[in-house]
Each structure stands twice: as C-alpha cells, then as structure tokens.
Amino acid sequence: MEFPEELKYTEEHEWVMVEEDLAVVGITDFAQDALGDVVFVELPEVGTVIEAGKAFGVVESVKAVSDIYAPVSGTVEEINDDLVEAPEIINTSPYEDGWMIKIRMADAADADDLMDAEAYQALIAEES
Amino acid sequence: MKKTPLNQVHRELGARMVDFGGWDMPVQYSGVIEEHLAVRQAAGLFDVSHMGEVEVRGANALAFIQHLTINDAAKLVDGQVQYSAICYPAGGVVDDVTLYRFNASHFLFCVNASNIEKDFAWMQQALRESALADVTLTNRSVEFAQIALQGPKSVVILSALTDVQLGELTYYHFCEGTVAGVPMIISRTGYTGEDGFELYLPAASAVAVWQNLLAAGAPHGLLPIGLGARDTLRLEKGYALYGHELSREISPLEGGLAWITKLDKDDFIGKAALVAQKAAGVPRRRVGLIMEERGIPREGYSLFAGDREVGVVTSGTMSPTLKLGIALALVEPGAAGLDSELDVAVRNRRMRARVVRPPFVQ
C-alpha cells in the first residue's frame, strides 16, 4: 500500500494535495482497499460551500455505503466527472485519476493541521 | 466466534474475514465483482459449512415433516430435494430450508447458519406437541462441512474427481458418492442460479476436498467465492434471504414463497394463519426493483408512490451483471404491479425505480 509523502491525510482516510489555496481531495489506498470494488460515487456540485469535518459526498462499494468528509473548508471548484461513469478508478488509482473534488480553501492554513504520511501510517497500523 | 473447518484455508488464500451471525467467514478473496463474474462465466467454490443439518429419522418422519413444513413433502421421491419453509402458528417464518429425502423414514434438513439452534429447538417442540411416535431428530451441523461448487464449469470440474455419473443427477436431486476419495452427499442444488453442486461431507475431510476442487477447477477459471458475491449472486436471481425477505414478521405469502406454500395440504403449523391471510388479502408483496437512475437501493430504504410511503427495500445492491442498482422489496399490493414506477429514498433524494418480476438476470 502506498502513502505519498507530498500528501496530507485525515483520520477518516481522505488525502489532500495542497497547491496554494486549492486542495485536491480523494480517499486513500487503505480506504479503497477496505471498501472493495467501488461502484458508485456521489459528489457535491461545483460552487457548493463545504465545511471541514462534514460529509461532502458518498462512496459506495458493492456491500457498503461510506461518507466522505471534507478535510478543509471552502468552495467546490471542480469535481472529477470521470468517477460518475467509472467509479472503479478509485480502486485502481486512488491518488491520481481517482481524485474526487478540488476545494478553493477559505483559509489555506486549514491543511496545516492534517496528518503527514508517517502519522497516517501509524494511525492505520493501529486500526488494522 | 464460530469457525468452519476451512477457516485457516481462507486466511491462507488472503480472504477478508467478517463476523457473519457469529461465524468468522470470508466476505471476499479477490474482489466481489471478479468473484461474482467468475461464477456466472466459469465456476466458484464456496465454504458454506456454517449452514446447519438436521436429520429426521423414523417411521413417522414424513408425517412429522408434513406437519412442520409448508411445502408438500409427500411429493418427494428418494434422492430428491425440496425447497421449503417452517412457519410459526401466526404465519411468520422460522426458517427457509432445503429438505433431502433418502427414503420414507430418513430425511435431512439444511437450515440457515444463524437459525440452527432456534430451528432445532423449534423442531423438538413441534415434535413433542405433535405426539408423533418413532421420530428422531438429530442436529448433525457440527459433523458436516458443506462446500458449494457453482457455475457453468461445475460439471466438468467435479467429474474429474468423482465416478458419479453427474449427467444422471438432475436439478434438485442428490446422491451419495465419493469426491476425491471422500464419501459424501452430492446435491445438484445451489443459491446462485447457476448449474452446480452442494457437497455435504465429513468436517475432517473439508480441507482436502476443498484443495482438490480448487486445483481441479483452476484451469477452468474457478475462484474461491466469499459471502459478498454469494449475496449479489442470489439477489440477481431474486432468491430470498432469511432475515431480509423472510422473518418472524414476514409470512411466506408476503415474502415471495406462495409457490411453496401448499394451503391445500393437510394441517401444518401456520396453515390457519396463512389461509386467513390469503383470504383477507396479503398486506404486502415482495417485488423486484430495477433502478432507472444511477443509485444503489439498500436494505431499509423507503419506497414512495408519489408522496405516499408504500414499502421498504429488504435487500439491495449494484448488480455486477447488469451494472444497475437492483433490490427486493416489500410493498403494498397496490404498488406491486409490474412496471409500476416507485421512488426510492436514497439519502436526501428520491430516485426512480421500476417494479419487475425477478430474476433480474436470466
């Protein structure tokens, strides 16, 4: 399982890539593996204001429904439309083609509080 | 947690294990969709050793079973299997079962894993109250392992390991024979809607038989299959699952088992209640739903006709074959018409679904 060093991570197994005040968000390799085959993704509309810690979308595997939580607050700038037709991309490429939304952050410092790769790996080692 | 004789084998195969009604069972090995499609297109191997087996023996075995079950066991010939159910006096379902007839004084019930103790206690109570002499009930669940081999390649795979003439063993029939040198019951039944077999064998031989089947099947595309795909496979065929479409609160007439509810049979437990329910009009009907919008119906989601709540989803999933959301549901009779459109409450939204008659996949 991979956990790229340049990303930040949440306790709910989302990853964030910060580029200035833009945050790209997806779910981690650990999360996609735990879910199994992803068959449905529900994402917010562009322009939606979302709040850190609140659910912004849903990812469904064959068996289960899971909420996806916003790692940072801000406005949805872009969503990954490819996931609507091919949600399995989340399984095959969780950190690249499987990105979910881009958030224009209200406060770029929001992301500073998130875990780095090392802390996240320690967390999942504890969980599993 | 309870373990089947194959528990260690599943772990070695890298299965993800879950607590399934108190049993430590594999939910998936390589992935639910891949496993599901393997069974539809080639073959799959299932550990269903958690299922229970209760033997009924004695001169009055058939008379007792006729009293206990809702289907007509008198129709069975030696070597035949029947799908049946056991009801409470009020008409709710104790369990749905398969019944094996060896001869007129020897039968075997296969019952759901989570119901074994409940069923056996219920059978013993029913036997006492029936005052029938010369009937012996034996819970043999621990002695038996059960392995299901399912899919279009099942015959070619099994025939490599047995001398039994599988071509003469027709659907819902069984025989006793050896597989990989182990004596067992070979039953041409299953829960996937595909051709295949359910093997009842001594628990001590489970690992050896499993490994032989896996090896014989590998060249044909056989995969080990977890409970995840077992559920999607049965759902695509519209088969009921106890605790979902059938329960103490759901009668067989409501739950889609009218076809095995033989109300013209002599008295059986639950008959009066079921006759009354039929006469009064069955309050709910089990239907199939296919989503017309992108979305997955899940157990417990409410169903609406306009603004009126008319029912609830009892089982739902994404169909790996159709790539659409499908469900079984209990709805008011007025909303159960074929091709009726209903709305499924999916989180904060309503999504359109169409009423169909299962199976969803032919």
Query: What pLDDT digit, counting tens, does each position of B191-244 carry?
Result: 999 999 999 999 999 999 999 999 999 999 999 999 999 999 999 999 999 999
Residue A115 lies in a domain: no
pLDDT of B298 = 98
Report how many domains make up chain A: 1
pLDDT at B165 > cutoff 90: yes
Residue A89 lies in a domain: yes
pLDDT at B71 > cutoff 90: yes
Instruction: Please check whether residue A60 touches B, CB under 8 A.
Output: yes
- From the number of C-beta atoms within 10 Å of its C-beta (0-12, 13-18, 19+), residue A26 rates as buried
CA-based nearest distance A82→chain B, Å: 14
- Regions of chain A with pLDDT less than 70: none
Q: Which of helix, strand or coil describes residue B84?
A: strand
pLDDT band, residue B348 (cuts 50/70/90): confident
Question: 10 Å Cβ neighbour count for B160?
Answer: 16
Q: How far is CA B3 from CA A78, B11, B28, B29, B145, in A?
A: 48, 12, 16, 17, 11
State the Cα–Cα distance between residues B288 and B290, nearest whole angstrom.
7
**Structural domains in chain B?**
7-51+143-236 (3.30.1360.120), 52-106+116-128 (3.30.70.1400), 284-356 (2.40.30.110)
Residue A98 lies in a domain: yes
Whether residues A65 and B317 touch (CB distance < 8 A) is answered with no
Whether residues B318 and A84 touch (CB distance < 8 A) is answered with no
pLDDT of A85 = 93
pLDDT at B346 > cutoff 80: yes
Whether residues A62 and B295 touch (CB distance < 8 A) is answered with no
Exposure string of B304-331, with b = 16+ CB inside 10 Å and e = fewer, is ebeeeebbbbbbbbbbbbeebbbbbbbb
pLDDT band, residue B38 (cuts 50/70/90): very high
Structural domain span for residue A80: 8-107
Is the predicted ipTM greater than 0.85, yes or no?
A: yes
Whether residues B32 and A40 touch (CB distance < 8 A) is answered with no
Chain A residues with CB under 8 Å of B32 CB are 36-37, 61-63
Instruction: Please check whether residue A61 touches B, CB under 8 A.
Output: yes
Instruction: Please check whether residue A37 touches B, CB under 8 A.
Output: yes
pLDDT of B179 = 98
pLDDT of A99 = 98
Residue A120 lies in a domain: no
Q: Tell me which residue in A40, A42, A62 faces B228 most closely, judged by beta carbons.
A: A62
For residue A59, the domain's CATH number is 2.40.50.100
Residue A127 lies in a domain: no
Q: Using one digit for the tens of pLDDT, what is the confidence trace for B93-104?
A: 999 999 999 999
Residue A119 lies in a domain: no
pLDDT of A63 = 87
Stretch B290-319: mean pLDDT, rounded?
Answer: 97
- The answer to whether the CB of B254 falls within 8 A of the CB of B330 is yes
Chain A residues with CB under 8 Å of B28 CB are 36
Q: What is the mean pLDDT of chain B?
A: 97
